[in-house]
Amino acid sequence: MSEFEQTEVNRVVRVPKRGHYDKETIYSILDEGYLCHAGFEIDGRPFVIPTLYARVEDSVFIHGSSVSRMLKRLDEGVETCITVTLVDGIVLARSAFHHSMNYRSAVVFGKGRRVVNDEEKLSALKAISENVLKHRWDDSRQPTENELNVTTVIEIPVNSASAKIRSGDPIDDENDYDLPIWAGVLPVKTRFGNAIPDSKLQAGIGLPDYLKDPLGE
Amino acid sequence: MSEFEQTEVNRVVRVPKRGHYDKETIYSILDEGYLCHAGFEIDGRPFVIPTLYARVEDSVFIHGSSVSRMLKRLDEGVETCITVTLVDGIVLARSAFHHSMNYRSAVVFGKGRRVVNDEEKLSALKAISENVLKHRWDDSRQPTENELNVTTVIEIPVNSASAKIRSGDPIDDENDYDLPIWAGVLPVKTRFGNAIPDSKLQAGIGLPDYLKDPLGE
């Protein structure tokens, strides 16, 4: 299956032509991001918490301390919604009404389950680390058994999902194109800055190659 | 009241010293961001949707089309959670375990109510517009009565809230400081790029001043 079935849950209601249901589109957004917002319910109240993640095959993995309220709740197998939003630009139309945002968002639904096998846990932790910054995992001191024990990893198999994408020029009402108002797109760019050494960094430890040009540009 | 009461709902469980409950801290995060993730529940399932917003006094305002599923649901007065996350850097510790993120997040709880008065609606829409890009509202064609009618504005009075902040160097285990591993922070910066004119922009309309230096730098 390369496409998620459209249901009441994942259907893009507002501006349906911006909705996408194929895995290629949805997973490319998940793979470009590294921070998601996880939604879940406790006592009838919704919570939205930012957290790092990685997609591996048809699952999203998140991790954290075993005392985390979010992870304890997801470990109960409740429904969760994982959303990743990449902002590309502010869309400046001539009318206030047609202002918009260029963005790519992926919304994923599923029920969490705790990863118990140590090997699978390590592999998920490495995937999250690599999704944030490639090459760092192999360059860091690996987790001890105790560190693994106090870390919870939750797998959320993607049960349903959709993406929503807006790109390109503003769309104004026909009559408004004559107005003497500047219109266009203000791009939004997220970039890494220059790495800042730890104040306790030992002398003689140079910046690794993967940090010199972290976006590969 | 300048501080939110700590309850089961808003208390920062994991790393309590990173939790903040004063309005000044929470509102400064809300005012720096412009994109939030709104969480709400439909049929027992959580949804997390990205949307623009503005804070005015003790409320968060969001808007959209009257047919939006999210806005229709919030109009029913259900509990919602609005989360804003500002990422400042990737924290690279010597151990994989102590890797972290420098960030400032605000999590806000409240029940939505629809803004019905046209004047209040306009004022909220202007606040959202100004929170995304200052000076743009007055430079765009103002909403017609029909445009206002098909736009829903939801006010979420902030009932409870907290912020969570991490900043500064990685914190490694004492023994790990001797390891020959580079450690520090990789800053994450979000910036506007150079404005791209609409392909249908009329000749002779120059770039407004507020778009030449949108961050005021």
Q: Work out the pLDDT band at A216, boundaries 50, 70, 90.
A: low
CA distance A37 to chain B (A): 7
Task: Judge whether B96 and A142 are in contact, CB under 8 Å.
Answer: yes
Region B163-185: what's the mean pLDDT?
A: 97
Instruction: Please return the burial class of B178, using the count of CB atoms within 10 Å of its CB with bins 0-12, 13-18 and 19+.
Output: exposed
pLDDT in tens, A170-214: 999 999 999 999 999 999 999 999 999 999 999 999 999 999 876
Cβ-Cβ contacts under 8 Å, A44 against chain B: 41, 79
Strand, helix or coil at B96? coil
Burial state string for B8-18 with b = 16 or more CB within 10 A and e = fewer than 16:
ebbebebeeeb
Between A and B, how many CB-CB pairs are < 8 A?
Answer: 273
pLDDT in the model for residue A11: 92
Q: Do B182 and A207 touch (CB under 8 A)?
A: yes
Q: How far apart are CA B97 and CA B79, in angstroms?
A: 35
Picking from A69, A88, A141, A171 by the largest number of B CB atoms within 10 A of its own CB, the best residue to mutate is A141
Picking from B65, B150, B165, B182 by the largest number of A CB atoms within 10 A of its own CB, the best residue to mutate is B182
pLDDT in the model for residue B16: 87
Cβ-Cβ contacts under 8 Å, B143 against chain A: 95-97
Q: Do A69 and B14 touch (CB under 8 A)?
A: yes
Q: Do A202 and B125 touch (CB under 8 A)?
A: no
* Closest-approach residue (CA) in chain A for B172: A200
Q: Do B195 and A186 touch (CB under 8 A)?
A: yes
Among B41, B79, B191, whose Cβ lies nearest the Cβ of A191? B191
pLDDT in tens, A130-155: 999 999 999 999 999 999 999 999 99
Q: How far is CA B108 from the centre of its chain?
A: 10
CA distance B9 to chain A (A): 9
pLDDT in the model for residue B4: 93
Q: Which domains does chain B have, with CATH numbers?
A: 16-169+182-187 (2.30.110.10)
Q: Do B201 and A183 touch (CB under 8 A)?
A: yes
Which residues sit opposite A45 in a β-bridge? A42
Among B48, B52, B190, whose Cβ lies nearest the Cβ of A37? B48
pLDDT in the model for residue A16: 87
Q: Do B143 and A96 touch (CB under 8 A)?
A: yes
pLDDT in the model for residue A96: 97
pLDDT in the model for residue A154: 98
Q: How far apart are CA B133 and CA A100, in angstroms?
A: 12
Q: Work out the pLDDT band at B14, boundaries 50, 70, 90.
A: confident
Picking from B9, B65, B141 by the largest number of A CB atoms within 10 A of its own CB, the best residue to mutate is B141
pLDDT in the model for residue A13: 84
Among B46, B125, B151, whose Cβ lies nearest the Cβ of A40? B46
Q: How distant, in Å, are the alpha carbons of A40, A60, B74 from that of A162?
A: 18, 14, 21
pLDDT in the model for residue B207: 96
pLDDT in the model for residue A213: 74
How high is the ipTM of this complex?
0.96
CB atoms within 10 A of CB B175: 10
Q: Do B14 and A68 touch (CB under 8 A)?
A: yes
pLDDT in tens, B25-64: 999 999 999 999 999 999 999 999 999 999 999 999 999 9
CA distance B191 to chain A (A): 5
Cβ-Cβ contacts under 8 Å, B80 against chain A: 46
Q: How far apart are CA A77 and CA A82, in angstroms?
A: 14
Q: Do B190 and A188 touch (CB under 8 A)?
A: yes
Q: Do A193 and B186 touch (CB under 8 A)?
A: yes
